[in-house]
Amino acid sequence: MADQELDPQTQAELRQFIEVENSKARFQSMVHNFTDMCWDKCMTSVGNKLDSKQEQCLVNCVERFLDTSYFVVNRLDELKRRA
């Protein structure tokens, strides 16, 4: 709305600030979702620290979920190209 009153450089800085904050918010929101999902998958009990099996499970849970997501997107693209 008030964009016309801002000089081009300030506008560009503002736009970049918003973009960076948005991507931070998206990142944190993904981390919340992953931790929620992977906690249920990996943490059936809690001790005095995360044991190495739980740590490995949490990392693999995130990695394999992202693999699944890429696999699904790539396969959909392929199916669309062949159709």
Note the residues at the interface with another protein (CB under 8 A).
Answer: 17-18, 21, 24-25, 27-28, 30-32, 34-36, 38-39, 41-43, 46-50, 54-55, 57-69, 71-73, 75-76
The residue (of 7 and 69) whose beta carbon lies closer to another protein is: 69
What is the nearest approach in angstroms of another protein to the Cβ of residue 56?
Answer: 9
Q: In whole angstroms, what is the distance from residue 49 CA to residue 62 CA?
A: 20
What is the nearest approach in angstroms of another protein to the Cβ of residue 37?
Answer: 8
Alpha-carbon torsion (76, 57, 62, 40), positive or negative: positive
The residue (of 13 and 55) whose beta carbon lies closer to another protein is: 55
The residue (of 6 and 17) whose beta carbon lies closer to another protein is: 17
Tokens 């016309």 locate to 4
